[in-house]
Amino acid sequence: MASKFASKGLRPYKTGSNAGYESNFERAAREKKERLKHGRLTDEEMAKKAQQATQFKGFVGGMQFRTKLGFQGNAFDTLWGKHIFLSFSNDDEELFEVAMKSELADVSERVIGGEYGSAFFIGDIGFFAQNQFEHAAEQMREFETKASKGIYFLSTKEWVTVNANIKKLADYSETRAPRAVRGDSWGALALRANAYKVAKRMLTMGMDPMITNEEGEDMFQILEEQYNRMTGVMHDVLVEKEVSTHKILVPSEQRAMDEKEEATIQVFRYMLHFLEEFNASLLARIAEIGEDKRLKRRLELRRESVSEKILFNVSCEAQVNNNSEMGKKLQTQLIERIRVYEQAQKDHVHLADLMHKQHAVVERKGGVQAKKIWKHTDDAEVAKAIREDEEVVQEDDVGGFDGETDDEIHTRIATAKAARIKKEKAQKMKAHGLETDDEKEARLEAERLAEEEKLLMALSLTEEEEREAKRKDDARLERQLLAPIQGTLYASEYETTSYR
């Protein structure tokens, strides 16, 4: 047995029926014996060594922090770029402040890289953008279309599968931005992610809003692009809400739709706050350009060199003036659009809520009889009530009295049975929310009394009218008879003779 384990390089700790078994106590003793054999520390020495502060226990993180929006992490200086990207997801201004406390942080950095599908780079961190993968997928689709032309034919359904596989091949990494262009600033990336509070904080920290990328886009043009895109998103939300007015939604669907609408309107509000700060920075920039123009002129007259900063600032005058004018118009449009959206949000009523309100009004006015949802437990309750009534009838009504004949007893039993059946029917109808026979009789009796009262009122009105007509005839006849004595004789219908 020992030779068998030795041939396989295994130590035969047990030589019984279970050669591979070793208890925890035996294993601990064996490991201690091996440590002593090789000059290693014992358990007591290891515990004593672990209490020493100089022992290396692994890498210790930087300052831990937690923002109000729930982000929790360590404030490493080298993670400042990653923290800025993470602040875009929830528009976490506090996380951006933590990132900018790093010794390496620079708000004026710009995007580089991205050639031939490689990663972009900004703030000591590389990243991919979704527009890179979309461009690569489009090129792959064009190549596949050209390669398959005249060779094989695919149906529409098959091309859908091919395009889906191409998309999987093109999306080969996680993206941190929906779109990126070489030369973009941190502010441009923040605006494309709808992180307007972070972008506004960047402006207050001195980021230049006039920086343009390789496609000639500055922050205002990117803001206009986001405004148009979010307008389309809000249009889809309003169309969805309009469709929902013609169907009943469950409460969870209503809440999801209302939250989506409120979140989209909130994006417009933050966009307006950023635009107000942006327009204010442009006004300050216009004043700064005026000072730089005068300084440039003085330096030129003195034949002194003009710094590149002054020249760049003066060269941006037309761009700043144009953005300032367009920014004011966009601010007016945003204010009006937010007002319209808020009014539509206030006026909208879900169909389910409207039906609940209408039902409450009808119940309050008593115009409809409440219906009850029938359950099997109601049948049991009705059956129990019927049994109790039968017991009462059997105890009180069925028994004979002194002097009663058999016919009288049978008649009384039949009457009690008919009353019990009638009561059972009334209980079932009442449980189902229907009108019982007694209620119907009471209603018909009330209608009969109301009709009789109406007829009596009509008769009384007729008698009063006849009396009034007779009184008027008597008064007219009296005037005709007494008129000659008073000096006027009615000779005919159209002539009168006066006496003097």
Report how far residue 47's alpha carbon sits from residue 39's, in angstroms, rounded to the nearest whole number: 16
Strand, helix or coil for residue 497 = strand
Around 25, how many Cα atoms within 13 Å sit in the side-chain half-sphere? 0
Q: Which stretches of 319-450 are assigned E, i.e. beta strand?
A: none
CA Rg, the chain, in Å? Answer: 48
More confident residue, 364 or 416: 416
Report how far residue 486's alpha carbon sits from residue 490's, in angstroms, rounded to the nearest whole number: 12
Span 93-144, pLDDT tens digits: 999 999 999 888 999 999 999 888 889 999 889 999 999 999 888 888 888 8
Q: What are phi and psi of 216, to 5 degrees?
A: 80, 20
Calculate mean pLDDT across residues 423-445: 75
Q: Tell how far CA 91 is from the center of its chain.
A: 18
H helix runs in 171-218, sequence order: 186-192, 196-204
Dihedral angle of Cα 53, 59, 62, 67, to the nearest 10 degrees: -120
270: pLDDT strictly greater than 80: yes
Per-residue pLDDT, 397:
45
For residue 488, give the H/E element and its range: strand 488-490
For residue 65, give the H/E element and its range: strand 63-66
Residue type for position 154:
L
Residue type for position 386:
I
Per-residue pLDDT, 442:
84
Span 156-181, pLDDT tens digits: 888 888 888 888 888 888 889 999 99
Report how far residue 201's alpha carbon sits from residue 203's, in angstroms, rounded to the nearest whole number: 5
Per-residue pLDDT, 225:
93
Strand 112-113 and strand 125-127: pairing? unpaired
Kindly indicate the confidence band of residue 329, based on its pLDDT and cuts at 50, 70 and 90.
Answer: very high
Check: CB of residue 136 under 8 Å from CB of residue 170: yes
Check: CB of residue 400 under 8 Å from CB of residue 458: no
Check: CB of residue 210 under 8 Å from CB of residue 316: yes
More confident residue, 285 or 381: 285
Span 187-203, pLDDT tens digits: 999 999 999 999 999 99
Report how far residue 71's alpha carbon sits from residue 134's, in angstroms, rounded to the nearest whole number: 30
For the whole prediction, is pTM greater than 0.85? no
For residue 399, give the DSSP letter.
S
23-37, 55-69, 92-106, 340-354 — which one is most confidently predicted on average?
Answer: 92-106
